[in-house]
Amino acid sequence: MSKISLVIPKGHLAEGTFQALERAGYVISGGERTYRPLINDSRIELKVLRPQEIPLFVSEGLHDLGITGLDWLHETCADVEILLDLEYAKVNLVLAVPKAWTHINNLSSLLEAFHGEGKVLRISTEYLNISAEFLRGNETYRRLYGEKEPLLITPWWRRGVNNHVTVYLSFGATEAKPPENADAIIDVAETGETLEQNELKPIEVIMKSTAVLIANKNSLKDPMKREKIYDVLTLLRGVVDGRKKLHIFVNVHRENLPKLLERLPALKKPTVAPLSDENWYSVNTVIDKDRFLEILPALRRLAQGLVVYEPRQVLPLEEITSNGEDGGSERC
């Protein structure tokens, strides 16, 4: 049986990734001490890398499957298949400036201020491509500088012709760059606490990002690898769906059963089973978690013995097959 290579991220995505994999039923050992942790599936080889690298390595076929951030997928323009939004590590990619600049509240006012004073606007970021696209898409930028690409500066190369707006590659600790090394930054923010601690304020949300499961397109064409990839997808999809569901069990009298079934949402249809007393039935079903408080009054009036579980996984097996799953390609 052929193996698949699954590459998972270190850094701020790591904790959520290990939790998701463990909730999916995988047992991982050595994750904190090695870049090659062990997993209780002999057909999966794990490797840990920086999320910035994962999209390109999966695109190039060096790994079959990967977990990375949607932000890095956009930044690298990697040609991969997006299999699943894992719905954790939710962050915003923001443009931020010093809090003291009370007159600056968006990119347009920032551009106007620096252009009006004849000053070069310096932006520090790890996201060169997203930043350049964001700047060039701004109406004020186009009015002031036309179609000129902002000057992108790294230690190895420079690209772009608009030296009035310069974007410097940051190697981390981006929020520490202003005011000496940058006037503004483009960086991810989860709670905004780090920006606050560094006397910065967000003035634009450029994109929202979460962790995503991606696959190499050629690996999906290999029947053996495809089957295993969809095993992983099924288990992780079950984790994502399981977080949104509740499994409830109730006992209900025969007279109240029709009324209860009318009010009870279900994943498909509730399971109804007779009890030893012919006048009573057991009903169990999976419902959306955010519907529970809505239906609780009906449960309280019509049923007895309510038991509620939060499922570890809910596996929509009929929706995920080797014939395909709703997803999408990522390519700039």
CA distance 98 to 115: 18
The CATH architecture annotation of domain 245-309 reads: 2-Layer Sandwich (3.30)
Do 4-88+210-242 and 92-209 have matching folds? yes
pLDDT in tens, the chain (332 residues): 689 999 999 988 999 999 999 999 999 998 677 899 999 999 999 999 999 999 999 999 999 999 999 999 999 999 999 999 999 999 999 999 999 999 999 999 999 999 999 999 999 999 999 999 999 999 999 999 999 999 999 999 999 999 999 999 999 999 999 999 999 999 999 888 999 999 999 999 999 999 999 999 999 999 999 999 999 999 999 999 999 999 999 999 999 999 888 888 766 678 899 999 989 999 998 888 998 998 899 889 998 888 998 888 888 676 665 444 546 776 66
For the record, the structure tokens of 185 come out as 């930054």
- Residue 191, Cβ neighbours under 10 Å: how many? 8
| pTM, two decimal places | 0.89
Residues 239-250: tens digit of each pLDDT: 999 999 999 999
The CATH architecture annotation of domain 92-209 reads: 3-Layer(aba) Sandwich (3.40)
Q: Where are the domains of the chain?
A: 4-88+210-242, 92-209, 245-309
The CATH architecture annotation of domain 4-88+210-242 reads: 3-Layer(aba) Sandwich (3.40)
Residues 41-77: tens digit of each pLDDT: 999 999 999 999 999 999 999 999 999 999 999 999 9
Bridge partners of residue 253, in order along the sequence: 280
For the record, the structure tokens of 14 come out as 């790591």
